[in-house]
């Protein structure tokens, strides 16, 4: 009998699963958890210290796998450059793909280019377009996500995978539950996002009633860089606010 895909796990993954079921004595728990607490605290302190004075920024999310000749890469680069010219800094995950495009657009336009890198065994490495004093490496996804949200005044979401969806729904959840302000969220690429939004509208809302109709208003879907930046500018113009140049 052939092995199904979900059964093909590495020895390292198998050991992680086994450790989850291992009984530990109180001394082991205290030692391990204490070190985790200090590492988490250290990442929070470094993040807060580095980002607390960067000024108004927009976080750009998207796939690390997007190549430099992909149309979405070029749009992300253009969005970042336009945001900078409109007075915003740009925050990305600091890696390749869409993240690189966002940092490149901001960096080459002379604006603030922030990179919040995550240590991963594949895909992720720091791109070269991050300001040297605004590059931070993280071990913990949840600490990194706090930085994405806490220091951004808007979110631009390009096509991406699991991590991009995680970041998108983190922002949506915090806005929906009023844990953060109602910052603008822009999805770029109608053909990429329309299936997800249709499912949310028809199933999550229409069939199961698991969200409110007004929650759909939290998201804007656009095609071009000009449209993406306009959503953010229009949002803040309602409050007579503008970035600090």
Query: Do 97 and 62 touch, CB atoms closer than 8 A?
Result: yes
Q: Is residue 35 part of a domain?
A: no
Task: Give all strands (DSSP E) within the chain, no chain letters.
Answer: 57-61, 89-92, 113-118, 135-138, 155-157, 185-188, 219-222
Q: Who's near 243: CB < 8 A, 6+ residues apart?
A: 55, 56, 86, 87, 88, 236
Which of 202 and 15 is assigned the larger pLDDT?
202
Q: What is the CATH number of the domain that holds 159?
A: 3.40.50.450
Average pLDDT over residues 126-132: 95
Residue listed under structure tokens 């949506």: 172
Q: How far is CA 167 from CA 12, 21, 236, in A?
A: 27, 29, 22
Tokens representing 120 are 């991963």
Q: How much is the mean pLDDT over the chain?
A: 90
Range of the domain at 150: 53-237
User: What is the Cα–Cα distance from 204 to 156, expressed in whole angstroms?
Assistant: 23
pLDDT score of 123 more than 70:
no
Q: Is residue 18 part of a domain?
A: no
Establish how many alpha carbons lie within 13 A of residue 211's alpha carbon, considering only the half-sphere containing its beta carbon.
20
pLDDT score of 182 more than 50:
yes
Q: Is residue 187 part of a domain?
A: yes
pLDDT of residue 35: 85
Q: Using pLDDT thresholds of 50, 70 and 90, give the confidence band for residue 98.
A: very high
Q: Using pLDDT thresholds of 50, 70 and 90, give the confidence band for residue 120.
A: confident
Average pLDDT over residues 89-105: 97
Could you give the angle at the alpha carbon of 160 between the alpha carbons of 155 and 161, nearest 5°? 120
Worst-scoring range by mean pLDDT, 2-11, 99-108, 235-244? 2-11
Q: Using pLDDT thresholds of 50, 70 and 90, give the confidence band for residue 245.
A: very low
Query: Do 145 and 138 touch, CB atoms closer than 8 A?
Result: no
Query: Do 86 and 93 touch, CB atoms closer than 8 A?
Result: no
pLDDT score of 190 more than 60:
yes
Which of 1 and 6 is assigned the larger pLDDT?
6
- Global pTM reads 0.86
Give per-residue burial for 134-148: e unless 16+ CB within 10 Å, then b.
bbbebeeeebbbbbb
Give the single-character DSSP code of 239: T
Q: Is residue 8 part of a domain?
A: no
Tokens representing 208 are 């199961």
pLDDT score of 156 more than 70:
yes
Q: Using pLDDT thresholds of 50, 70 and 90, give the confidence band for residue 119.
A: confident
Worst-scoring range by mean pLDDT, 114-118, 173-177, 236-240? 236-240
Q: Using pLDDT thresholds of 50, 70 and 90, give the confidence band for residue 52.
A: very high
3-class secondary-structure state, position 177: coil
pLDDT of residue 16: 66
pLDDT of residue 1: 45
Q: Is residue 71 part of a domain?
A: yes
Q: Using pLDDT thresholds of 50, 70 and 90, give the confidence band for residue 153.
A: very high
Q: Is residue 197 part of a domain?
A: yes
pLDDT score of 173 more than 90:
yes
pLDDT of residue 34: 83
User: What is the Cα–Cα distance from 226 to 152, expressed in whole angstroms?
Assistant: 19
Tokens representing 150 are 């806490």
Q: Is residue 225 part of a domain?
A: yes
Task: State the total domains in the chain.
Answer: 1
Q: Is residue 228 part of a domain?
A: yes
pLDDT score of 78 more than 90:
yes
pLDDT score of 41 more than 80:
yes
User: What is the Cα–Cα distance from 219 to 79, expressed in whole angstroms?
Assistant: 17
Measured in whole angstroms, the distance separating CA 103 from the mean position of its chain's CA atoms is: 13
């Amino acid at each position: 009998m052939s092995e199904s895909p979900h059964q093909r796990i590495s020895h390292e993954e198998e050991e992680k699963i086994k450790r989850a079921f291992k009984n530990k004595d109180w001394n082991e728990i205290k030692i391990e958890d204490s070190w985790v607490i200090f590492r988490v605290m250290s990442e929070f302190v470094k993040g807060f210290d580095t980002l607390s004075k960067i000024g108004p920024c927009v976080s750009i999310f998207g796939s690390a796998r997007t190549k430099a000749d992909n149309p979405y890469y070029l749009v992300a680069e253009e969005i970042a450059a336009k945001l900078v010219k409109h007075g915003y800094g740009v925050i990305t995950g600091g890696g390749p793909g869409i993240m690189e495009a966002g940092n490149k657009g901001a960096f080459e336009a002379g604006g603030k280019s922030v990179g919040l890198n995550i240590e991963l065994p594949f895909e992720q490495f720091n791109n070269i377009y991050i300001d040297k004093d605004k590059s931070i490496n993280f071990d913990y996804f949840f600490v990194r996500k706090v930085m994405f949200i806490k220091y951004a005044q808007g979110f631009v979401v390009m096509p991406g995978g699991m991590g991009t969806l995680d970041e998108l729904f983190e922002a949506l959840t915090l806005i929906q539950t009023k844990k953060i302000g109602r910052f603008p969220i822009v999805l770029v690429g109608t053909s990429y996002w329309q299936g997800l939004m249709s499912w949310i509208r028809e199933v999550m809302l229409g069939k199961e009633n698991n969200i409110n109709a007004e929650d759909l208003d939290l998201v804007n879907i656009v095609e071009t860089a000009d449209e993406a930046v306009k959503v953010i500018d229009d949002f803040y113009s309602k409050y007579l606010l503008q970035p600090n140049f």
